[in-house]
Structure 1
Amino acid sequence: MQQGKVPCGTAVHYGSPSQEASELRLDGARAAVYAYLAAQTEPVTALDVAEATGHVRPTIWNALKHLEERGLAARSYKQLSGHGRTPDLWSVTDPPPLG
């Protein structure tokens, strides 16, 4: 396991907004998702985020889309060999200046 990465399937409480999330005016699931993404060293899937935060996937998707629209999270795609839909991978971006 890489340092700073929480393994998929490990329940960790990300419900308390970090100082940075508070400064970005994020609360609830959005703050939890942002805090989880910020703690990761590599991009993660929405399922990883849902399992780690305890929120259901529709809530996670709404939070991720909100963070993406605000420029706080970025979506990338993992190339898979074989068939099927490639999962979206999510990571934090450098936040825009406050104010």
Structure 2
Amino acid sequence: MSEERREERLPPRRLKPGDKFYKDTVTFEIVEVNTVRGYRQPPVYIVAYRIRDKDYVSPVAHLFITEGDDARAWIQRVIDHYIQNRNYIRSAAG
């Protein structure tokens, strides 16, 4: 019986600039991580990121992740969205 390797949750507080996540030819690169704290509310992490795909480099965009969320799942969602809309995004970028 083979064991499946399950990736552990990645809390947003563990993200740092320079971290990279890969899928196929796509690289999700973290540029900056800031924390916004509200009164009586859990912190929200603002993650500035850039997507690199072969010769394409996206402008910096931002992802808002709350303390209890899994950052890896959010990053995977962004990468999947980019892959699904790759042709449109790259043609719109010029």
Question: Which of the five TM-score ranges fits, normalised by the shorter chain?
Answer: under 0.3
TM-score (structure 1 length as normaliser): 0.25
Structure with the larger helix share? 1
Structure with the larger strand share? 2
TM-score (structure 2 length as normaliser): 0.26
